Structures are given as structure tokens and as C-alpha cells.
Amino acid sequence: MRNIIFLGLVSFFADMSTEMVYPLIPLYLTMAFGATPALVGVIEGIAESVASLLKVFSGYIGDKYHRKKPIAFLGYAAGLVYKIILIFASSWGGVLIGRVTDRIGKGVRTAPRDVLVSESGGTKTLGRSFGIHKTLDMAGSAVGILIAFFIFRSWNGNDGYKELFLFSCIPAVLSLGMFFFIRETDASASAGAKLPVFGELRRLDSRLKLYLLVVFLFTLGNSSNAFLLLRAKNVGFSASSVILLYFVYNLVSSLLALPLGRLSDRIGRKSVLVSGYLVFAVVYAAFAWADGMAMVAAAFVLYGVFTAATAGVERAFIAEIAPPAMKGTVLGLESTLVGVALLPASVIAGVLWDAFGPVAPFAFGASLSFAAALVLAFGLPSGVPARAAR
């Protein structure tokens, strides 16, 4: 439990730092550099894809050498470098470099961190372990967004971006300090031992293979959160109110992550994940056909429910079904598949927005999420929960 708490605090401070900045990036790009929604989509797609493509490699290295803690530390350190790059960026190209650096860090740290979480708790309570981590993760996001909101209000939305970027370095440093209290989990094999990657991947549990397919299908319609923020601005919210909406999303997710993680321990991952994808479909439909600010605000609340129902639960599902010696590799593989789909997803969303307006990208995302929920709901054998029976 000690490791889980401190890993959660690492994410708490890291996400506080990141979310002090993230909701302002699409506004910063459009207001300071004149970027279009399509360009925002390209920047976000490139950044997220580069990051996710690295996750399978960092997971494999962690599995092979059983040195998950230093790999995760390097990944979180990249978040601090990102803020420094933003301070000196003078064009959208500089912001792109910063975003890529940050997402590379995320790509390096995610799989080894998730293995540390899974190996630090009981095998029968993985949902709770990941729920605790996700609760602290999203709580840090909420605090960071709230700080950004009040600071942005004090500027009247006109200035001070780089001052906020500088201030966001403080929690990033605190995040790195938490690693002093984290212990490396025990290795199950000799460090450097050969891993039969392709053979093990071919023998993955059929339920896990199905879920990886579902994740890929879903992600094609799951564009960057930057589009949600742009949509809120589009229906009439002020820049500071957009930040507050993002805070509400993170707060809801933080409050529900642990209860829904525990629920998945009791009833199985499948029911919780299917429900999450259906909620996402409703969320994107609301963004597509919003007839006012109230509907968009409600959609942000439901978006928090979706994140709480899927982010930790899917990691618990993968961790318990993956081959024990390749847990990090498989967790990284899932994130890599997400990365392969993220670039076209964000580019498609931006192009659809520019060509047909904001309804098109969200309607597209809602349709794919509904399809993913159906595949997961009816593709698994009837009566078999998405939970490993070792």
C-alpha cells in the first residue's frame, strides 16, 4: 500500500503541474499564434502518438531488467523539461516540441509505473489499487486546473501564460521528490533474462486480444481533449469558464475512480468498461448536438464518469490477464495501439471540424464508442467476466 500511495502522489503532483498548463494550450495556440482547430489536432495527434509508440518499449525494458522505478522517474522528469520549453517557445512549433517532449515522458513512464502499482497491491484487489492511484492522479489534475482558473481570472484572460508555465514547474519538482519513498518491486525472473515476446503475444488470453481491438476502434473516435475545450468556447463559455469545466471533469473522475475500481473487483471488468464506453457515446453526442451551455456542462460531468469507469479498470484488466513476466510489455502494447490510432483520430477530428463544423467530429466519436461497447459486450463469451481466472 505504501508504494501505491506514493506512486499516487507522484501522479498527483505531476498532473497538478500538467493540468495547470494543459487546458490553456489550445487557447494559447489559437490566441497567441493563430492556430486553427485542424492545426491543434495535428499538434495533439503527433504529440500523443509519439508518446504512445514508446510505451511498449519502456514496458519491455522494465520487464527485462526489472528496473521500473528509474525508468518511470526519467519519464516524469520529461514533464519538467516540457514546462521549461513552453517558457521559451515563441511559435506554435515550440509548443509542438514541448508537447512531444511531455508525451515522450508519458510514453516512457506509464507502463513501468502501472506495473509498480499492480505489483504493490493484492492480486484480488487490482481494481482498488488502480482506483487509489487514479483518484490521486485526477485529484492532482483538479487542483492544478483550479489553480490555473484563479490565476487566469486574475489576468482577465489577457496575459501571463509564461508566468503560469514557470509556476507549474514547482509541483513537477515535488513529483520527482516522491520517488525517494518508492521501493522497486521484487523481480520474478533474473534481470536481463530473454523474454519470448512474440511467442507470448501470440498466446495472449483471447479476452485480452478482443479488448485490444476494442481499444483501437474506440480511440479512432476519441480525439484530444483540446476539442472538448474548443467546443465549450464555441458554445459561449469564456476562457476562464472553460478551465472551470475541465476542473469539474477531473473532480468527478477523482471522486468516482476508487468506487468504480472496487466495483470492477466485485462484478468483473467487462460490465464497468462497457458502461464506460456507453457513457462516452452519450458525452460525445451531447457535445455534437449541444443546444446550450447547460448541456455542455453536463457533458463534462459525464466525461468524468467515463474516465473513472475506464482509466484504472482497463489497467487492472490488462495487468491481471497479461503473462506475469511480460506485464509491462502488454500494458505498453495497449498504450501503443492507442498511439497508433490517436494521430488519425485527432487529425480526422480537426479536418471534420474545419469542413463541417463541430457536430461532425463528435458525432463520429460517439458512433465509434457505441460500436466499441457493442463489440466488447457481445464479443466476450456469455457469462464470463472480463477478469482472469488464474
Residue 303 has pLDDT above 90, yes or no: yes
How confident is the model at residue 77, as a pLDDT? Answer: 95
Residues 6+ apart with CB under 8 A from 186: 119
Domain-embedded: residue 187: no
Domain-embedded: residue 195: no
How confident is the model at residue 302, as a pLDDT? Answer: 96
Q: How many domains does the chain have?
A: 1
What is the DSSP secondary structure assignment for residue 387, as one 8-state letter?
A: S
- Residue 380: pLDDT band by 50, 70, 90 thresholds? low
The most confident of the ranges 3-7, 25-29, 339-343 is 3-7
Spell out the alpha helix ranges (H) of the chain.
Answer: 2-19, 25-33, 37-65, 68-88, 92-120, 126-155, 161-167, 169-177, 197-202, 206-219, 226-234, 239-267, 269-288, 293-321, 327-356, 359-379
Domain-embedded: residue 273: yes
Domain-embedded: residue 338: yes
Average confidence (pLDDT) over 140-149: 86
135/256 Cα distance (integer angstroms) = 8
Domain-embedded: residue 16: yes
How confident is the model at residue 87, as a pLDDT? Answer: 87
Domain-embedded: residue 188: no
164/357 Cα distance (integer angstroms) = 32
Q: Which residue has the cell 512531444?
A: 100
Average confidence (pLDDT) over 6-25: 89
Domain-embedded: residue 119: yes
Domain holding 303: CATH number?
Answer: 1.20.1250.20
Residues 6+ apart with CB under 8 A from 377: 270, 274
The burial class, CB within 10 Å (0-12 / 13-18 / 19+), for 183 is exposed
Residue 389 has pLDDT above 80, yes or no: no
What is the span of the domain harbouring residue 85? Answer: 2-182+200-379
Nearest to 40 by CA among 105, 106, 102, 96: 96
pLDDT single digits (tens) 78-91: 999 999 998 888 88
pLDDT single digits (tens) 230-270: 888 888 888 778 888 888 998 999 999 999 999 988 888 88
- Comparing 314 with 158, the larger pLDDT belongs to 314
Residue 390 has pLDDT above 60, yes or no: no
- Residue 203: pLDDT band by 50, 70, 90 thresholds? low
Domain-embedded: residue 389: no
Residue 383 has pLDDT above 50, yes or no: no
